[in-house]
Amino acid sequence: MREREKLTEIIKEKAREIGFDLVGIASAEPFQRAYSNLQKRKLSEFITNDIDLLTDPARHLPSVKSIIALAFSYASKRIDKEEEQFISLYARGKDYHQVMQAKMQELIIFLKSLSKDIEVKAYSDTGALLDREVAYQAGLGWIGKSNNLINPEYGSYLFLGEILTNLPLIPDKPMSSRCGNCQLCIENCPAQALESYCLDPERCLSYITQKKDILSEKEREQMGNHLWGCDTCLQVCPYNRDIPYDLHPEFYPVLNGDIKEILDFKKDNLPPEWRESALFWRGLRTLKRNTLINMGNLGKEEYIPFLIDYLKNPSPVLRVYTVWALGKFSKEGIKNLLYSHYYKEKDNMVKKEIEDVFKINNWGEINDQGKY
């Protein structure tokens, strides 16, 4: 076996021994296909809009000759009970960023044992390089119409990561799309965010549940019972049917949603499975905001006492969503409660929300002159 082939094989073997389900090698040439696709695409606030940086590995490591693409499956069948709130599977186990970094570090230590002059840079959702495009170039799968990277054996419940290196390795061949005439992800997307191979990130529920600003009326309605993320385009994909499940205990789904519990979370009473989940990066306030919206959309009477209590929350942003959720219960008692709260409320944003709730419910006008 020639030297480069041998080196490539040894590295792949080590990656599998560490536990990665998939490993492949991408060439370090700029990603031309992605470059032209990205020029036509809307990008989200979660990634730079510098297309060169997104598609040129040398901008990340000038000496780069190859990219080792890696993936872990997080597919699971361990969720069997109905829950009030929807939490995406990827956020129910340990934060994949940490698991990936630790496992990639093991591989980097091995790479360093092979050569003194080695240079590396590792990313998993952490850099301005496209993880899916790297995985596609390295033959780990194809990017489907859902935008997810799909492997024929493991499906698309995959976490992706990559190590850029100056080692000259043998690249694998990209896989062409096997979506064929299927359109299931496009037809079932609850936010109509997908159009063949393209995603409108601002419509995607996964994005809306993570977005910081005040959400529009439409976004709140669309969120439904989604506390975090959305898995519909994964759930309906035929390539996720006959796949291996529960391969890594780190990703077993241990986190369950309980609306009332979340509203009571504080830094010092937070269960470890919440602290260690990938959904925690946006902080407690975003989770509470989403929970209040979920309550409004689910509309169960049993939520009313919790919501009334939340009108005393010190955060004006959370009071805005509390008012909105209460407004979903078109009851005389709620109208009177919001009416009297309006005159105690000091924050203009919350007052404006109460005015909007009065308008939407045809409860008459409410304003600082005290008429309604």
Q: Give residues in contact with ligand B12 (CB under 6 A).
A: 34, 37-38, 41, 43-44, 46-47, 88, 90, 124-125, 130-133, 143, 146-149, 156, 158-160, 177, 197-199, 201, 204, 206-207, 210, 229-231, 233
Q: Helix (H, G, I), strand (E, B), or coil: what is residue 224?
A: coil
What phi, psi does 27 have (nearest 5°)? -70, 160
Q: How many Å apart are CA 53 and CA 38, to the nearest integer?
A: 12
Which of ligand SF4, ligand B12, none lies near 184, with the C-beta cut-off 5 to 8 A by kind? ligand SF4
Partner whose footprint covers residue 149, from ligand SF4, ligand B12, none (CB < 5 to 8 Å by kind): ligand B12
Q: How far apart are CA 214 and CA 219, in angstroms?
A: 10
Closest CB to ligand SF4 among 89 and 326? 89
CB of 355 to ligand B12, least distance (A): 32
- Give the residue carrying structure tokens 């009851």: 331
Residue 117: active-site member: no
**Catalytic site residue from 125, 200, 246, 356:** 125
66 binding partner (options ligand B12, ligand SF4, none; Cβ < 5 to 8 Å by kind):
none
Beta strands 226-228 and 86-87 are parallel
Report d(CA 141, CA 323) in Å as an integer.
46
Closest approach, Cβ 215 to ligand B12, in A, equals 14
What's the CA dihedral at 355, 359, 360, 362 to 10 degrees?
130
* The two structure tokens encoding residue 157: 């419940």
236 binds, among ligand B12, ligand SF4, none (CB under 5 to 8 A by kind): ligand SF4
By beta-carbon proximity to ligand B12, the closer residue of 47 and 170 is 47
Q: What are the angstrom distances between the C-alpha of 230 and each of 45, 206, 222, 258? A: 18, 5, 12, 17
CB of 163 to ligand B12, least distance (A): 13
238 binds, among ligand B12, ligand SF4, none (CB under 5 to 8 A by kind): ligand SF4
Other residues' Cβ atoms within 10 Å of the Cβ of residue 368: 9
Residue 322 Cβ vs ligand B12, minimum distance, rounded to whole Å: 26
Task: Pick the closer one to ligand B12 by CB: 229 or 327.
Answer: 229
Residue 24's beta-bridge partner residues?
A: 69
Query: Based on CB atoms, which residue is closest to ligand SF4, 277 or 322?
Result: 277
How far apart, in whole angstroms, are the C-alpha atoms of residue 270 and residue 287? 12
Return the number of the residue (31 or 321) whose C-beta is nearest ligand B12. Answer: 31
Q: Name the closest residue to ligand SF4 (Cβ).
A: 144
Question: 130: which 2 tokens?
Answer: 């496209």
Q: Which is nearer to ligand B12, 141 or 327 (CB)?
A: 141
| CB of 280 or CB of 303, closer to ligand B12 | 280
Partner that binds at residue 160, options ligand SF4, ligand B12, none, CB closer than 5 to 8 Å by kind: ligand B12
Handedness of CA 78, 83, 88, 93 (dihedral sign): negative
**Checking DSSP bridges between strand 66-73 and strand 158-165, what pairing results, if any?**
antiparallel
Q: Identify which of 231, 236, 270 has the alpha carbon closest to the alpha carbon of residue 253.
A: 231
Whether 341 and 311 have beta carbons less than 8 Å apart is answered as yes
Q: Which residues bind ligand SF4 (CB under 6 A)?
A: 144-146, 179, 182-185, 189-191, 193-194, 199, 204-206, 230, 232-233, 236-239
| Min CB(299)–ligand B12 separation in Å | 24
> Rounded to the nearest 5 degrees, what angle is found at the Cα of 189, between the Cα atoms of 188 and 190?
105
Closest approach, Cβ 29 to ligand B12, in A, equals: 14
Question: Can you read off the two tokens belonging to residue 91?
Answer: 């956020």
CB of 344 to ligand B12, least distance (A): 38
> 34 is in the binding site of which of ligand SF4, ligand B12, none (Cβ under 5 to 8 A by kind)?
ligand B12
Write down how long the chain is. 372
Which residues form the catalytic set? 125
